[in-house]
Amino acid sequence: MKKVLVTYITHSGTTRDVADAIAEEIIKTGCEAQVLELAEVKDSKEFDAVVLGAPMIIGWHRNALNYLKTHKAELAEKPLALFLTAMSLTESPKPDIPGVDLHLDPKLVAPPQKPGRFSFKESFTTLKHYLTPVLKAAPTSLKAVAFFGGRLDMYRLKWYDAVFVMLVVGAKPGEKRNWPDIHAWGASLPALLKLDSK
């Protein structure tokens, strides 16, 4: 039976719940899945595939990017999928990344307020802006990337994070996780990662 590591980083729990939902779907397809916070991962050698999720915290969480960079050689040996949780994703041309399936939660993507040009804030939430550093850090074994809506609950944040999000990011509090979309992506992962259930 193929064993998948579903690992995540979270500030306030949102991305952990998404990781749990994804693992649940992977298990339903006949694979094994273990959910671990990234800080608990000692070694990914015992796994046949890795799924890594983290929130957008002005760009993808830097510990997730660092993990990709520092474990690039190890990760290159097994299929990898990434998921990103965010409160805003501004529509911009979808890049063609050979061999990588790119999924965007249709409820998260929004067109720029003025067609054809991005405002200053929107230029920090485009697909290209989010994706470029991620693709640069990822190994060649990357098979899939998904963007999901997250949740912003000011009461769960440290006060300075709450102030930062309100003043700098300008994201409004709320729940944007689209569970049917998250579950559907989880169910499609064994095929995207080219794992059979044996």
Ligand X SMILES: Cc1cc2nc3c(=O)[nH]c(=O)nc-3n(C[C@H](O)[C@H](O)[C@H](O)COP(=O)(O)O)c2cc1C
Q: Which of the 8 DSSP states describes residue 56?
A: B
Quickly tell me which residue has 């015992």 as its tokens. 46
Least distance in angstroms from the C-beta of 1 to ligand X = 29
Which residues here bind ligand X, judged by CB under 6 A? 10-15, 55-58, 85-88, 125, 150-152, 157, 161, 164-165, 169, 171
d(CA 89, CA 40): 29
On whether the CB atoms of residues 9 and 55 are closer than 8 A, the answer is yes
Least distance in angstroms from the C-beta of 6 to ligand X = 14
Alpha helices in the chain (DSSP H): 14-28, 62-70, 72-75, 127-137, 159-164, 179-192
Q: Of all residues in this chain, which one has the CB nearest to ligand X in the complex? A: 150
Least distance in angstroms from the C-beta of 93 to ligand X = 19
Least distance in angstroms from the C-beta of 12 to ligand X = 4
C-beta closer to ligand X: residue 86 or 137: 86
C-beta closer to ligand X: residue 123 or 141: 123
Question: Structure tokens of 168?
Answer: 């700098």
